[in-house]
Amino acid sequence: MLASRPIKAMALRRMYSIHSSSKQKTIPDIFKKYHAKEPISMITAYDYITATWAHAAHTDMILVGDSLAMSTLGHVSTVDLDLQEFQYHVRSVCRAPGSSFIIADMPYGSFERSIEQGVETAISLMKTSSRVGAVKLEVGAEENDYCLELAAELCRRGIPVMGHVGLTPQRMHALGGYKVQGAKDLGQALAAYHRAKDLQAAGCFSIVIECIPTKLAGIITEKLSIPTIGIGAGPQTSGQVLVQSDLLGMLPGKAPKFVQKYADFHGDAIGSLCSYVEDVRQGVFPKVGQHTFTVSEELLEEFSKQVD
């Protein structure tokens, strides 16, 4: 019995050492950049491949966004995505190696019924993988918005929350579509500011500001003591996020005004696939020797005898 104690102690030390050597970014790492006034980067990812690219680009944060409903799964809206389908993609993203901090959206329909449902969903998302570091929650413009209470409850339970104000796609019907918020309506502008302050008071570690005029987003950022991540909110926020399929040009059609396209994956992919199809038709792919494997003459001769 005495001899086993050192072995157990060594095993515990090894496990602790392995756990503590993880290089995945944490919330304190994000705040370190924030306090140093270094811009924070965030990119969406929806599967192992896109997550691998995001990690390799050394983005600070990866958002497994419910935007995958439209950009990856062909739905017409983010509200069409259910929790189980979403968690499948969260697991895939979390399998990709890399150091970026990972945040998972809370899909529409997975938290609205009650605080209990919202807490259960958040716990389920955090347990999807140990690499999920936080959840993101969209919050409406109303002073008594239910999601403010939910955000506070999640933070009280030790679940890190990133808030989301301004244009909230899950509420597009209430907002009258995907529209800039606060450009011509003082009430909208003040609502975005007050909800951001409310989310900070609730304990959120960061807030996404979507489709808010640049100068308004800058003032909101200045008035907060937590990082803001802008999308369609200009350069005065603490950081930026873009949908990966938008910035890589994965889909046809015009990208939103606030998107910078850094590639044309859609055009390049179709061109490459057309070249493959034509090579097959012309009989130039595959090439013997370049794309094929050999067999010994003895085995080939014996094989021929057996099949004959």
Could you tell me the pTM of the whole model?
Answer: 0.88
Residue 190 identity: L
Residue position matching structure tokens 């919050």: 139
pLDDT tens per residue, range 87-140 = 999 999 999 999 999 999 999 999 999 999 999 999 999 999 999 999 999 998
pLDDT for the residue numbered 17: 45
Task: Please indicate whether residue 210 is annotated as part of the active site.
Answer: yes
> Contact 244/50 with Cβ under 8 angstroms?
yes
pLDDT tens per residue, range 266-301 = 999 999 999 999 999 999 999 999 999 999 999 999
- The span from the CA of 264 to the CA of 247, in Å, is 9
Give me the mean pLDDT over the 241-266 stretch. Answer: 94
CA Rg, the chain, in Å? Answer: 25
As a whole number, the mean pLDDT across the chain is 91
> Contact 207/138 with Cβ under 8 angstroms?
no
pLDDT at 16 over 50: no
The tokens for 21 are 């050597």
Q: Which domains does the chain have, with CATH numbers?
A: 27-263 (3.20.20.60), 268-307 (no CATH)
Which percentage of the chain shows pLDDT scores above 90?
81
More confident: 12 or 243: 243
Give me the mean pLDDT over the 41-57 stretch. Answer: 98
The DSSP code for 258 is T
More confident: 9 or 155: 155
pLDDT tens per residue, range 193-243 = 999 999 999 999 999 999 999 999 999 999 999 999 999 999 999 999 999
Number of residues that make up the chain = 308
Q: What is the DSSP string of 181-216?
A: SSSS-HHHHHHHHHHHHHHHHHT-SEEEEES--HHH
Point out the catalytic residue in the list 210, 278, 297, 301.
Answer: 210
Tally of CB atoms within 10 A around 266 = 15
Please work out, in degrees rounded to the nearest 5, the angle formed at the alpha carbon of residue 100 by the alpha carbons of 38 and 161.
80
Residue position matching structure tokens 């690499």: 131
pLDDT at 19 over 50: no
**Nearest Cα to 126, choosing from 154, 165, 96, 153?**
154
